[in-house]
Amino acid sequence: ISHYDGTSWTSYTSANSPMPYDDMRGIVVDHNNVVWATFLNVAVSNGGGIAKFDGTNWTIYTPANSALPSWNVDKIDVDAQNNIWIGTELGLVKFDGINWTLYNSQNSGLMNNNVTDVEYDASTGKIYVATGISIDIFDGTTWSHINHTNSPVSTTGLYAVDARGDSIIVSTVGGSYLTYIYNGSSWVSHPEKDHTYDARIDNDGNFWICGIGVLEKFDGTDWT
């Protein structure tokens, strides 16, 4: 993890911090300015977890010392109540600082347990989850879905998602290599040459994706 204060860079690695591995998968800063990051070393069977850093103290969460259900963790985000949401291969996890809550296909509306992305939309208070076969949306009570039955998105490979109000972007890995954008009234599909691993909608309403060999922006008319 590297931090830039406008003048200097500071890097935290397994050599100078309690983080056991250096392969970072996701990062978010909560409302108390605490950094939460997921790490995963695919070379070992128990190489994943969450690192929490408040600027002084580190806390490492793994299935060995917490109710985190899986070592295989990916993206992470924070909601308005300062709950931390974590995507794992065994479902979606919410951590309120004390309690761990697992949402999976057996106890919730999650369509698939392998969560590759989780994003909180502050404008609606909804959690958006990418699960490969579906984008699952949780408003705190009920679940809804975006998938091939009600939209142009593909049946597999839905890897990353972001949402702001009525606008949605979905990036994909494998399959048809398409980026899907919903602007509030209609869908746009844009071809990519390879995997795209992250998607964002910025404050001006521009859509962004990044992946292997590509960083692209869509302003509603033109792709750059």
Q: What is the pLDDT of residues 123-169, one digit of tens each?
A: 999 999 999 999 999 999 999 999 999 999 999 999 999 999 999 99
Whole-number average pLDDT of the chain: 97
List, as one string, the DSSP characters of the chain.
Answer: -EEE-SS-EEE--TTTSS-S---EEEEEE-TTS-EEEEEE-TTSTT-EEEEEE-SS-EEEE-TTTSS---S-EEEEEE-TT--EEEEETTEEEEE-SS-EEEE-TTTSS-S-S---EEEEETTTTEEEEE-BS-EEEE-SS-EEEESTTTSS--SS-EEEEEEETTEEEEEE-STT-EEEEE-SS-EEEEE-SS-EEEEEE-TTS-EEEEETTEEEEE-SS-B-
Note the pLDDT of residue 171. Answer: 97
| Distance between first and last Cα of the chain | 29
Q: What is the pLDDT of residues 45-79, one digit of tens each?
A: 999 999 999 999 999 999 999 999 999 999 999 99
Mean pLDDT of 107-125: 97
Mean pLDDT of 201-224: 97
- Is 176's pLDDT higher than 90? no
